[in-house]
Amino acid sequence: MSASRGSRWFVSVGVAYLVAFQVATAAGAGRTTLAVLGVHGFVVHVLLGKAQALVPTYFDRNLAAPWIARAALPLTAVGGAVTAGWLATGSSVLAHGASVWALGVAVVVGLLLASLRGNLTGRETGTGDHNAHRRRVDRAANAAVPVALAYLAAGAYQTAAAAGTLVPLPALAGGLPVGVHLVAAGGALLALFAVGFRLFPRFLVATPPRPLVAVVLLAGALAPALLAADFYGGALFRAGAALEAVAVVGFAVAYAVLHARSDRSRVGLRAVLAAVASGVVGVGLGVAFATGALAPTAGRVLAHLRLNVLGLLGLAVVGALYQFYPPSVGRLPGCDDRLALASVTALAVGVWVEAAGRLAGSALVATGGAALGVAGALAVAYLVGAAFLSRT
């Protein structure tokens, strides 16, 4: 299996989890179940899939053994679903799914790190001479990738430990919520910053503010460790929340500047604007929880999760997918930018309405927003699936 085909299989599973994430939200599933469906299922599968295709190239390397990823995909795909079932039912037998999922993640992370041998710092960027002005940013972005992979591995380990199948890491407590934060904020979000600073300037044919690149990558690399080491604790947790906010707001400003400097306005690129706007609100809630300005009630914490996982990470993922797999490539009826724009609008407006309902304590409004999000996820699955069918 080639790296590109393996990448599409991972992305396909991730998009299926997006639909499950949205349906489970509309059905009123518990917060931890939603976290696994959204983070461990949707975000991680797309992350691992695109990492196979992009990361070795960014380090001027080739993926060492693409077939290894094929062996890991059933582990992550089935393990994630079983883990969600464990959290929904409390079954001790299903708890073993967390270890299966973690093993699959470890295999792909190990494959990626093996592929980068001899260039782990990312100094060799594979950047052509026509993009020589981008090399400094590319090197900084590359340096953050192994850190993101390390966070993803630590989060996978912590997820299995929370299920009772491994001994927790000595410096960490907090169970599954810590694992979710390590995977989402450490692995996925830092990877979004790093890969985003390579991808989006090329998509938009513009240059980001270099000082912001350094601030975002450094803050994004430090924040998850502080959050995990003192989860819902004192000074370290507050410092981690502040640094995460600096990273997300910095990335939002950098992307807004890129977008303003560009004459390109595709659907996928507008989706990322909605993503960073969601992220600013989502981390704002996190800072309010950390400082005690806002009590972390169940509804508010779920709004925080949804704005960050579906809003920030999810919409950014969907935007990037529409760039890699243009909606018009699909040969099925309705595959065009209008349906893509409708899907992005449904996801963005849906999560904003849902979050507003949860913050206001209105279950009816929250359910309405979640239902709109289901329609958006189904449209994304249709467009991405049609694009993949056209390439077979």
CATH architecture of the domain 3-389 equals Up-down Bundle (1.20)
Query: Residue 173 above 70 pLDDT?
Result: no
Dist. CA 229–CA 261, nearest whole Å = 39
Backbone dihedral region of 174: left (phi > 0), alpha (psi from -120 to 50 degrees) or beta? left
Give dist(CA 301, CA 286) in Å, integer: 8
Q: How confident is the model at residue 1 (pLDDT cuts 50, 70, 90)?
A: very low
Q: Are 60 and 124 in contact (CB under 8 A)?
A: yes
Average pLDDT of the residues in 33-57: 96
User: Is it the case that residue 48 has pLDDT exceeding 70?
Assistant: yes
- At residue 232, the pLDDT reads 79
- For the segment 120-126, the average pLDDT, to the nearest whole number, is 90
pLDDT tier for residue 93 given thresholds of 50, 70 and 90: confident
309, amino acid identity: V
More confident residue, 383 or 391: 383
Q: What is the three-state SS of 178-204? A: HHHHHHHHHHHHHHHHHHHHHHHHHHH
Alpha-carbon distance of 291 to 346, in angstroms, equals 32
Assign 35 a pLDDT band (cuts: 50, 70, 90): very high
Query: Any idea how long the chain is?
Result: 392
Residues 154, 183: Cα–Cα separation, whole Å: 8
pTM, rounded to two decimals: 0.96
Helices and strands: H and E segment counts in the chain:
15, 0
- Mean pLDDT over 320-348 rounds to 95
Question: Residue 164: pLDDT band by 50, 70, 90 thresholds?
Answer: confident
Q: How many Å separate Cα 374 from the centre of its chain?
A: 18
Contact 245, 185 (CB under 8 A): no
Question: By the 8 A CB rule, do 119 and 69 touch?
Answer: no
Question: What is the pLDDT of the chain when averaged over all its residues?
Answer: 93
pLDDT one-digit tens code per residue, 239-271 = 999 999 999 999 999 999 999 999 888 999 999
Separation in Å, CA 386 to CA 53, 137, 259, 335: 20, 35, 28, 8
For 59, left (φ over 0), alpha (ψ -120 to 50), or beta?
Answer: alpha
Phi-psi region of 166 (alpha: psi -120 to 50; beta: other; left: phi over 0): beta
Is the predicted pLDDT of residue 165 greater than 80, yes or no?
no
Percentage of the chain beyond pLDDT 70 is: 97
Alpha helices in the chain (DSSP H): 3-26, 31-35, 44-58, 66-89, 97-115, 135-162, 176-181, 190-204, 210-229, 235-261, 267-291, 298-306, 315-324, 337-360, 363-389
Cα–Cα dist 190/248, whole Å: 10
C-beta of residue 99 within 8 angstroms of C-beta of residue 105: no
Task: Specify the pLDDT at position 317.
Answer: 97
pLDDT digits (tens, 9 = 90+) for 71-92: 999 999 999 999 999 999 988 8
Q: In whole angstroms, what is the distance from residue 231 CA to residue 154 CA?
A: 15
Residue-range domain boundaries for the chain:
3-389
HSE (side-chain half, CA atoms, 13 Å) at 138? 22
